Copies of this chain bind each other. A is one copy, B any other.
């Protein structure tokens, strides 16, 4: 593999959960957002809004929802939202009626989630290429309605996740990924038996990773972790919330 600086940035990723007490500059934030915007977008829709949080009390509220101190203590915080409100607002009232079925479709909800995520990964890599660490924050969905209210989101706008940015105060090990043959299939979906065999080995190597890592060492495997996680139904309020916001209704 002939590495280049972009590949190095990508392959060197690790999530940073402790940041130095130093704000990003306006220029840095501008660069990161411009990078986000340059991502591909479905039919030029750009179905997202990024909210940069500088207000300390909002950060503290979001950190308490998330349960993670680095949502408050970081160099900057971005919240990525799906947004079809912008497009609706460009239309006349009659046109808005004509657009309702599309705006409320699961198809367009998928578009918004994909658009926001492609933009966010560009933002993450742009930041990492500048020596700034990142951590995605799915845990804002612990109380998605409160996030909605804090950020004054109108109908057709929902928060998907946050992205904490800042100068790293830690250098964690790279977290192992599933073997490539589990995730990458050729031409057809592969039988799960083959995947299970490979995951057995992965579980062993992940157990070693967890035992040996410098912080939060523990005894665990990927399989046990996943079964625990999925046996515990959480965030079941996300679905009715999303529908109230006029997404994913039909």
Contact = CB atoms under 8 A, between A and B. Distances in A.
Interface of A: 1, 4-7, 9-11, 13, 15, 27, 30-31, 33-40, 42-46, 48-55, 58, 81, 85-91, 95, 98-99, 101-103, 105-108, 110-111, 113-114, 117-118, 120-122, 124-126, 128-130, 134-136, 138, 141, 151-154, 157, 160-161, 175, 177-178, 180, 182-189, 192, 195-196, 199, 222-223, 225-227, 229-236, 238-239, 242, 248, 250
B182 A86 contact: yes
Nearest to A178: B46
A242 to B, nearest CB: 6
A233 B186 CA distance: 33
Nearest to A45: B226
Report the copy number of this chain in the oligomer.
2
B187 A53 contact: yes
Contacts of A141: 107, 110
